[in-house]
């Protein structure tokens, strides 16, 4: 099992027990969001109890898209663009 797979497993286990603050918020998977929405999303992540697990996974897996642990991840950059 890769480190990213292990991090995802930890995140998935936590998600089975509690719902993240970003749940059902389409902005977190949208390609383009306004600066105001980005600031709101950052604030949401800042207080989320799953933030550390989410960040651990994102750093290891480098997601192709989305907003993970308060940061925008994009395929074209393949790195944190915060």
Question: Which residue in 78, 81, 11, 82 sits closest to 51, CA to CA?
Answer: 11
What pLDDT is attached to residue 32?
Answer: 87
What tokens appear for 55 in the block?
């960040």
- Ranges of each domain in the chain: 3-72
Backbone angles phi, psi at 58, to 5 degrees: -60, -40
| 14 C-beta neighbours (distance < 10 Å), count | 15
The one-digit pLDDT tens for each residue of the chain (82 residues) are 899 999 999 999 999 999 999 999 999 999 889 999 999 999 999 999 999 999 999 999 988 889 999 998 865 444 444 4
Query: How many whole angstroms separate alpha carbon 45 and alpha carbon 49?
Result: 8
Task: Give the CB-side neighbour count of residue 82, counting CA atoms within 13 A.
Answer: 15
């Amino acid at each position: 099992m890769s480190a990213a797979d292990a991090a995802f497993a930890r995140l998935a286990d936590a998600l089975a027990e509690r719902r993240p603050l970003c749940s059902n918020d389409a902005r977190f998977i949208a390609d383009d969001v306004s600066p105001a929405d980005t600031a709101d999303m950052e604030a949401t992540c800042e207080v989320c109890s799953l933030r550390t697990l989410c960040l651990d996974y994102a750093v290891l897996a480098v997601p192709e898209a989305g907003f993970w642990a308060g940061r925008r991840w994009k395929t074209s950059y393949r790195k944190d663009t915060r």
